[in-house]
Amino acid sequence: MPLFEYYCSDCKARFELLVSHKHADDVVCMKCHSEKVRRLLSVFASPRGAGEDYSFDGAADAEGGCGCGGGSCGCH
């Protein structure tokens, strides 16, 4: 499920929520339960292959996946 970030215009809260696309627009504020929330750009909004984001994600995966920095742990 994608992680979405929401902003509540009633209490000015920002929160993140894992929600399926089907319910992405049915979210209420986690603090005040207002329906006046709007969805911000998702952390994972950019699909892989979208230019700069791709190379950044790739580097993060390679270095953050196992902590070995590449090659010595057998996970590559």
Q: Is 34 in the site for Zn ion (CB under 5 A)?
A: yes
Nearest CB to Zn ion, comparing residues 10 and 26: 10
Q: Quick one: which of 28, 32, 50, 60 contacts Zn ion (CB under 5 A)?
A: 32
DSSP code at position 41: -
Q: Is 5 in the site for Zn ion (CB under 5 A)?
A: no
- Please report how close the Cβ of residue 22 comes to Zn ion at its closest, in angstroms: 22
Alpha-helical (H) ranges within the chain are: 52-64
DSSP code at position 23: G
Label residue 47 exposed, middle or buried (CB < 10 Å: 0-12, 13-18, 19+).
exposed
**Token pair for 36:** 């006046």
Q: Is 29 in the site for Zn ion (CB under 5 A)?
A: yes
Q: Which residues here bind Zn ion, judged by CB under 5 A?
A: 8, 10-11, 13, 29, 31-32, 34
